[in-house]
Amino acid sequence: MLSADARILDAGAGTGLLGAALHDRGLRWLDGLDLSPAMLAVAESKGVYRSLDEARLGQRLPYEDGTYDAVVSSGVLTTGHAPASSLDELVRVTRPGGHIVFTLRADRMPPGYDAKLTELVEAGCWELVERGDEFQAMPTSEPDVLVRVWAFRIR
């Protein structure tokens, strides 16, 4: 369980829906990043983020090593959005003992992610804490798309 002052990065914050949900649960140190300035403007209007940065997943992120207690990412680590190599940077900016929690499609794993998950385990970078059950992320608009939540602890 994270404390209210845990430092959290919302990677691929978009319009800030996940950040708002975390804020509603008492988490207050929220930073976000996204590729889209327009989406960041919407996220900023929610008033829940400490800072928001324009950045591209798959490139070096503008944060020091071990800056965050947790990194979250929902609906972003997917084909056409962020390459599997994005996970390397998320690991780098998360402190040892911290967590990375993200969604991935369960029905069709994006290219390179299966190998990257295994590579980071075998390299001793992180350990799997939980792999959630499959669920429909968008039951109305895309009922055939199944995702699952993954949680890893940084070593």
How far, in whole angstroms, is CA 25 from its chain's centroid? Answer: 17
**In CATH, what number is assigned to the domain containing residue 21?**
3.40.50.150
Residues in the chain where the model's pLDDT stays below 70: none
- Scanning the chain, the segments in alpha helix (DSSP H) are 17-24, 37-45, 86-93, 113-122
Q: Six-digit token pair at 6?
A: 């845990």
Count of C-beta atoms within a 10 Å radius of residue 150 = 20
pLDDT at position 148 is 96
pTM of the model: 0.95
pLDDT at position 2 is 86
Tens digit of each residue's pLDDT (9 = 90 or more) over 25-63:
999 999 999 999 999 999 999 999 999 999 999 999 999
Select from 7, 10, 76 the least CA-distant residue to 46.
10
Q: Is residue 47 part of a domain?
A: yes
Interatomic CA distance for residues 60 and 66, integer angstroms: 14
Q: Is residue 2 part of a domain?
A: no
Q: What are the distances in angstroms from CA 109 to CA 45, 96, 115, 118, 135?
A: 33, 27, 10, 13, 14
Residues 48/23, Cβ–Cβ less than 8 Å:
yes
Q: Is residue 71 part of a domain?
A: yes
Give the number of residues written for the chain.
155
Count of C-beta atoms within a 10 Å radius of residue 92 = 16
Q: Is residue 108 part of a domain?
A: yes
Q: Is residue 1 part of a domain?
A: no
Q: Is residue 53 part of a domain?
A: yes
Instruction: Show the domain range for 42.
Output: 7-154
pLDDT at position 67 is 98
Q: Is residue 124 part of a domain?
A: yes
Please give the tally of structural domains in the chain: 1
